[in-house]
Structure 1
Amino acid sequence: MRWFIATLAVLSVLLTATVIWACSVPVFRYALERWPADKYSVVVFYRGSLSPEHQKIVSLFNKEGAITQKSANAELQLVNLDSKPDPKDVELWKKQKSETLPLMVVRTPLPAPVPEGFLSGELTEENLVRLINSPLRQNVAKQLIDGQTAVWVFLESGNSEKDKAAFELLSKELKRMEKTLKLPEIEEADIEQGLVSVSPDSLKLKFSVEKCSREDSAEAYFTKMLLATENDLKDFKEEPMAFPVFGRGRVLYALIGKGINAGTIEQACRDLTGPCTCQVKDQNPGTDLLMAVNWEKLVSPTTQDEKELPPLTGLIGFSGETNKKAESVKSSNMLKNGSNEENAQSENTQIKDPQSSLTGEATGNTTSPLPSDHTEKMSTIQSDSVEKTQSNSLMQNLLIIVSLMILLVLGASYFMMARK
């Protein structure tokens, strides 16, 4: 009997958690709209003080700096080795086995799959540019912003026979998934709560594959980043890999060598297209990639022109252009404000002048009120919408309360029986 009551209690807790955290929006879309990309840690080791040149590079991480302006998910940590640094930082520096200073060490978001960092090198603007962006990453981001379910990055092994077989299998299975999988029906309550910003009918079930060569110097940093999404991927140098990327540049996990097969591909696709059973990002698998993309601006419904990604450029020059644009916008706003004040004064003059008012009526510049029946219809529609939202919220609250009451009753019963 006790085991029965305990089981019911556990089920009650699970029911409550499900009510609170589950939703019907597909995982890939929920992640795109609501999971901000975790930040990479860029640790700069130095001694004494930084030179003016290096200070200029470090300033790129400031609020007005290019890295921040480009919305790259990276943050800076400065470590002066002459100022009694944290022992953990010293350990990280020693693991690099490099005499170069200043030294830049990059780690994936914590808890990092590769704690010692996946990349280290001299602190230069060129290295930072290659770190935060690359042509392939821009291509992946553009497809995700356009609403694609996922972009599979196929990392070649260098063995043409293995790569060809794995790539053809992956491409074939993804086309099959597009035809056989179905997106979940999004509940009205989730739409009303704003869990998805686009019409459910506009959601795409579409996959694509982008090849990445380990020999491509333009994607060298990106390749190291992919291999750092799990702690043992660098051990499979002679095997092709497939990384499903979704949301705001998040890798679900890697398929390796013979692991790239129909079953694993289908499972990954189902994981991405199924309803989001847990809205808490940290409780879902995956590792974010470092990208220079303003997801917040580009993901929201806008015109196609506004969704164009900025070109790949240097960072220091970009900061200067950003400041000039800011000054230009500020000047423009001042001019607009001045113009608005003049217009306001002009309008006040017209209102005070009866002759001007009559002229407006004569030329037809008047606003006629809406018909009363139209107003009543609009009011009824809005009222129905509010009542529907309140009803859905009330139902969810009732489910939570009932679940908690069941849990309390079962807990009390278990306590009473234990005393007997």
Structure 2
Amino acid sequence: MIGMTVEWLSNGVRDRRIAGVSFALILAGVLAACQVPVFRYALERWQPDHYQLLVLCDRELTETEAEQVDQLRQRAGRSSSSSSVSSNFDVRIVRTDQSENRFAKVTWEQHGSRNQPLLAVMYPENAQEIPDPLAGTFRLSSDAIDNVTRSPVRTEIAKRLLSGQSAVWIFVPIGDPDQDDECLATLQREVQRNQDSLELPEQEEVEGEEALLAEVDIELRLEFSIITLNRDDPKEKFLLDLLLSSEPDLADLKQPMAFPVLGRGRVLYALVGKGIAEDTIGIASRFIIGPCSCQVKNQNPGFDLLMNCNWDEEIGTAKLSEEIPSDKSPPVKLSIPPGKKK
């Protein structure tokens, strides 16, 4: 398969997004695609990108602080007492008075304190479209560790995706009942419409092994759902910040938003206000359930949430998809005309 990068000709963030997904759908029709839907290939094969959790300090950690760092590493499945990998983040202690890491030093100067270590969360390196690599900073504490590594909404999203749902839409209300009710009603209507009208590839065509469908632990089916993320929920503050910081303008927009999530916590992009509409929801839905024409994860839109889930263990060994072989072909650069939401 030939690798691809895209040169965008549009000016607006949402223009780029609509053009990109439309192009992905067109591409799916002309390339030789495997019959496994995108969402299922993403669940089985796309390993989540890793966040970097930096514990910044200008002194030796106390015994309590060292125990908190070990608690973080246990959540990641990388402590001396744990052999499984259960979260997509790595933990590193950085002594700012000794390190030459400029990012760590600047972050400490802007957010740190001599009285307490700082937990700085960095987006994955592969999330190159995110404007600021710093996802958030917290005073190191057990509460901060809980807030960063898990939350009720993320736990529920993982549960639904592992049950076989094609995607979970995160709806983020703005607090204006008129806007929120209209956008949520549109999202509910169109999500249900797409669930009822779209079709998966014929099951007997999936990798040519009908018997394999009986062996997998997770049923292959088409199903969407919606979960609401309230902006004033303290347990979801980190998740909200992750979403709103994923594009340059989202935090400033006073409109409801919707984010489709698939695979192992892959967020495609945001639909905002009037952009939560029949055509944009349909574009996202058809991409999610369509044949997986582009199996290389980083050639698809989106970024991964920080999730506390051992995906490989939950999914099991029997899979519908085949792992893509290594491809060293150089990327092909394409120019795509802008696609605007009218």
Q: Does the 8 A contact of 2:118 with 2:139 survive in 1? A: yes
Residues 9-408 of structure 1: pairs in structure 2 closer than 5 A: 22-60=33-71, 61=73, 63-64=78-79, 71-96=86-111, 101-112=116-127, 113-185=130-202, 188=205, 190-191=207-208, 202-236=219-253, 238-300=254-316
Query: Looking at CA atoms only, which structure, 1 or 2, has the larger radius of gyration?
Result: 1
Q: Does the 8 A contact of 1:27 with 1:275 survive in 2? A: yes
Aligned-pair identity in percent equals: 39
Instruction: Please report how far the alpha carbon of residue 70 of structure 1 lies from its aligned counterpart in structure 2 after TM superposition.
Output: 7.1
Structure 2 counterpart of 1:204, one-letter code:
R
Unaligned runs of 5+ in 2: 1-26, 319-342
Structure 2 counterpart of 1:30, one-letter code:
Y
Q: Does the 8 A contact of 2:149 with 2:306 survive in 1? A: yes
Structure 2 counterpart of 1:87, one-letter code:
R
Structure 1: distance between partners of 2:110 and 2:276: 33
Structure 2: distance between partners of 1:176 and 1:221: 32
Instruction: Please report how far the alpha carbon of residue 114 of structure 1 lies from its aligned counterpart in structure 2 after TM superposition.
Output: 4.1
- Residues 55 and 284 of structure 1: CA distance in aligned 2, closer, same or farther (over 3 Å): same
Structure 1: distance between partners of 2:93 and 2:178: 45
Structure 1: distance between partners of 2:142 and 2:85: 14
**Is the strand fraction higher in 1 or 2?**
2
Instruction: Please report how far the alpha carbon of residue 40 of structure 1 lies from its aligned counterpart in structure 2 after TM superposition.
Output: 1.2
Indicate the SS of the match to 2:258.
strand
Structure 1: distance between partners of 2:214 and 2:104: 42
Structure 2: distance between partners of 1:218 and 1:88: 27
Structure 1: distance between partners of 2:242 and 2:214: 31
Structure 2 counterpart of 1:254, one-letter code:
A
Indicate the SS of the match to 2:264.
coil
Structure 2 counterpart of 1:39, one-letter code:
H
Cα RMSD (Å): 3.0
Deviates more, 1:267-276 or 1:225-234: 225-234
Q: Does the 8 A contact of 2:57 with 2:96 survive in 1? A: yes
Structure 2: distance between partners of 1:111 and 1:99: 32
**Is the helix fraction higher in 1 or 2?**
1
Aligned length: 284
- Residues 116 and 31 of structure 1: CA distance in aligned 2, closer, same or farther (over 3 Å): closer
Instruction: Please report how far the alpha carbon of residue 207 of structure 1 lies from its aligned counterpart in structure 2 after TM superposition.
Output: 0.8
Unaligned runs of 5+ in 1: 1-13, 303-420
Instruction: Please report how far the alpha carbon of residue 192 of structure 1 lies from its aligned counterpart in structure 2 after TM superposition.
Output: 5.1
Instruction: Please report how far the alpha carbon of residue 146 of structure 1 lies from its aligned counterpart in structure 2 after TM superposition.
Output: 0.5
Indicate the SS of the match to 1:118.
strand
Structure 1 counterpart of 2:69, one-letter code:
V
Structure 1 counterpart of 2:163, one-letter code:
D
Q: Does the 8 A contact of 1:243 with 1:253 survive in 2? A: yes
Structure 2 counterpart of 1:64, one-letter code:
S
Instruction: Please report how far the alpha carbon of residue 84 of structure 1 lies from its aligned counterpart in structure 2 after TM superposition.
Output: 3.6
Instruction: Please report how far the alpha carbon of residue 96 of structure 1 lies from its aligned counterpart in structure 2 after TM superposition.
Output: 3.6
Structure 1: distance between partners of 2:307 and 2:257: 20
Structure 2 counterpart of 1:276, one-letter code:
C
Q: Does the 8 A contact of 2:123 with 2:133 survive in 1? A: no
User: In the alignment, what sits opposite 1:369?
Assistant: none
Indicate the SS of the match to 1:213.
coil
- Residues 250 and 195 of structure 1: CA distance in aligned 2, closer, same or farther (over 3 Å): farther
Instruction: Please report how far the alpha carbon of residue 91 of structure 1 lies from its aligned counterpart in structure 2 after TM superposition.
Output: 3.0
Structure 1: distance between partners of 2:197 and 2:149: 36
Structure 2 counterpart of 1:140, one-letter code:
I
